[in-house]
């Protein structure tokens, strides 16, 4: 189920030594590819450099576009970014499907967050109140109403809240479609690892690949996910403070209609979720671990994922396991992404999307490639890379 058609052919970076383009994007995850696609649509010549596009966190991600059910009280800025990006998703998905000829399985049937114990129920009710105060759509459901909405739910579910506006996509289809759309627009996708940046008089002028290739650019966009903090040739105050936050996730083969919407809940003190795809696949997620650059799939994590998902939806134990994956989310100190001018001429950052990079990709592409849009200014300010520079002074 993982092989998707339509990926752009990649050439080794060494074959294009000495070349240049308007924009070079370092990293071909959902963020780098979205930025590259929007730049190519605006008529700029674009090169993406990545040893394995679409293989990073974007390959592991569940693809929930769920700013409302992901929100916590301390994260109102993140909620604003998420809502702005969620609003962009229907048009982004439609346009991407039209250009690539590929469906990205964009669905908008909402998220059902359920509770078992009275503490969890109280926490959900408080959350519903918080969302109502922000005039966000939310419905409170009894246990019976939850099960009527999702018959596969455990009988012990006591109640829940439905966020009807939440949506989801298949991130593997999204990166495959972005690669196909980039190829149709004539953008280059090179198989290479960027080792460092080329700079001249304090300005970034291109990238240097590990195989020695140099690619000149007017503008370099650093979108290397959890690896964005480890490039050579940048002063420390310019390098984004991202760290890898490991997530393990499992895919099962269900029948279409097994679940109608995303289902989540707090089980054994941790958040578990199930995401249904159009073809019947059910995604179980996800762990959150501070383990450095470790992408091993571990027995303990899989046990926890199954244990927690089974509490929510007991019938999953009948389903076939089709895929196990681990990915590294690019975490930042304040959980907000790092998007925009880096403080160094010629270098833009588009990273640090942590748990929400799929959700935030349309907004990120607009923030990086868009013209001066007054509506975007307050959102751009929230993501500014310069907020961390203070710490280095």
Residues interacting with ligand FAD, by CB under 6 A?
26-32, 49-53, 55-58, 60-64, 193-194, 223-227, 247, 249, 285-286, 327, 329-330, 351, 353-359
- Closer Cβ to ligand FAD, 64 or 157, answer by number: 64
**Helix axis angle, 357-369 to 171-184, nearest 10°:** 30
- Closer Cβ to ligand FAD, 121 or 309, answer by number: 309
- Closer Cβ to ligand FAD, 100 or 287, answer by number: 287
80: left (phi over 0), alpha (psi -120 to 50) or beta: alpha
Are 75 and 354 within 8 A, CB to CB? Answer: no
Q: Closest approach of Cβ 152 to ligand FAD, in Å?
A: 20
Q: Are strands 214-222 and 347-351 parallel, antiparallel or unpaired?
A: parallel
Q: Closest approach of Cβ 355 to ligand FAD, in Å?
A: 5
Q: Which residues pair with 26 in a beta bridge?
A: 49, 222
Q: Closest approach of Cβ 218 to ligand FAD, in Å?
A: 19
Residue in this structure with the two tokens 């907020």, named with its chain if needed: 387
Q: Closest approach of Cβ 59 to ligand FAD, in Å?
A: 7
- Closer Cβ to ligand FAD, 39 or 121, answer by number: 39
- Closer Cβ to ligand FAD, 120 or 166, answer by number: 166
Q: Closest approach of Cβ 117 to ligand FAD, in Å?
A: 25
Q: Closest approach of Cβ 54 to ligand FAD, in Å?
A: 6
- Closer Cβ to ligand FAD, 49 or 128, answer by number: 49
What's the rounded Cα separation, in Å, for the pair 388 and 323? 38
- Closer Cβ to ligand FAD, 62 or 198, answer by number: 62
The H helix count followed by the E strand count for the chain is 10, 19
What's the rounded Cα separation, in Å, for the pair 172 and 193? 21
Q: Closest approach of Cβ 303 to ligand FAD, in Å?
A: 16
Are 81 and 363 within 8 A, CB to CB? Answer: yes
Which residues does 87 contact at the CB level (< 8 Å), separation at least 6?
Answer: none
Collapsing DSSP to helix, strand or coil, 305 comes out as helix
- Closer Cβ to ligand FAD, 233 or 315, answer by number: 233
Looking at residue 267, the DSSP 8-state letter turns out to be: E
What's the rounded Cα separation, in Å, for the pair 176 and 301? 28
Collapsing DSSP to helix, strand or coil, 375 comes out as helix
Are 199 and 344 within 8 A, CB to CB? Answer: yes
Q: Closest approach of Cβ 119 to ligand FAD, in Å?
A: 25
Q: Closest approach of Cβ 203 to ligand FAD, in Å?
A: 20
What's the rounded Cα separation, in Å, for the pair 315 and 202? 59
Q: Where are the alpha helices (DSSP H) in the chain?
A: 30-41, 57-60, 67-70, 76-100, 118-133, 143-149, 171-184, 299-312, 357-369, 377-383
- Closer Cβ to ligand FAD, 29 or 385, answer by number: 29
- Closer Cβ to ligand FAD, 137 or 196, answer by number: 196
What's the rounded Cα separation, in Å, for the pair 356 and 66? 9
Q: φ and ψ at 208, to 5 degrees?
A: -115, 125
Q: Closest approach of Cβ 31 to ligand FAD, in Å?
A: 3
């Amino acid at each position: 189920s993982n092989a998707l058609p339509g990926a752009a052919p990649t050439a080794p970076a060494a074959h294009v030594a000495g070349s240049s383009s308007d924009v070079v994007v370092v990293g071909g995850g959902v963020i780098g590819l979205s930025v590259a696609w929007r730049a190519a649509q605006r008529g700029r010549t674009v090169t993406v450099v990545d040893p394995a596009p679409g293989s990073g966190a974007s390959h592991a991600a569940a693809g929930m576009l769920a700013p409302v059910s992901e929100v916590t009280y301390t994260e109102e800025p993140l909620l604003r970014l998420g809502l702005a990006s969620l609003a962009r998703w229907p048009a982004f998905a439609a346009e991407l499907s039209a250009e690539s000829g590929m469906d990205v399985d964009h669905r908008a049937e909402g998220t059902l967050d359920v509770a078992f114990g009275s503490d969890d129920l109280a926490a959900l009710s408080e959350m519903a109140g918080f969302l109502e105060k922000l005039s966000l759509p939310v419905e409170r459901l009894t246990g019976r109403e939850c099960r009527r909405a999702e018959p596969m739910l455990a009988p012990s579910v006591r109640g829940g809240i439905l966020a009807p506006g939440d949506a989801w996509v298949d991130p593997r289809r999204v990166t495959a479609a972005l690669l196909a759309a980039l190829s149709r627009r004539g953008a280059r996708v090179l198989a290479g690892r960027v080792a460092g940046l080329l700079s001249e008089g304090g300005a970034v002028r291109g990238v240097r690949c590990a195989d020695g290739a140099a690619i000149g650019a007017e503008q370099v966009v650093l979108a290397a996910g959890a690896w964005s903090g480890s490039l050579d040739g940048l002063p420390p105050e310019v390098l984004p403070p991202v760290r890898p936050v490991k997530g393990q996730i499992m895919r099962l083969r269900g029948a279409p209609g097994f679940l109608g919407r995303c289902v989540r809940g707090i089980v054994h003190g941790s958040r578990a979720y199930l995401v249904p795809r159009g073809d019947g696949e059910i995604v179980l997620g996800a762990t959150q671990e501070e383990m450095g650059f470790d992408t091993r799939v571990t027995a303990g994590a899989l046990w926890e994922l199954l244990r927690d998902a089974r509490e929510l939806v007991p019938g999953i134990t009948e389903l076939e396991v089709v895929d196990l994956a681990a990915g590294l989310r690019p975490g930042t100190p304040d959980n907000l992404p790092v998007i925009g001018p880096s403080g160094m001429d010629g270098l833009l950052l588009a990273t640090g999307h942590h748990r929400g990079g799929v959700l935030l990709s349309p907004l990120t592409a607009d923030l990086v490639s868009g013209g001066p849009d007054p509506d975007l200014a307050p959102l751009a300010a929230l993501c500014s890379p310069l907020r961390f520079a203070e710490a280095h002074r």
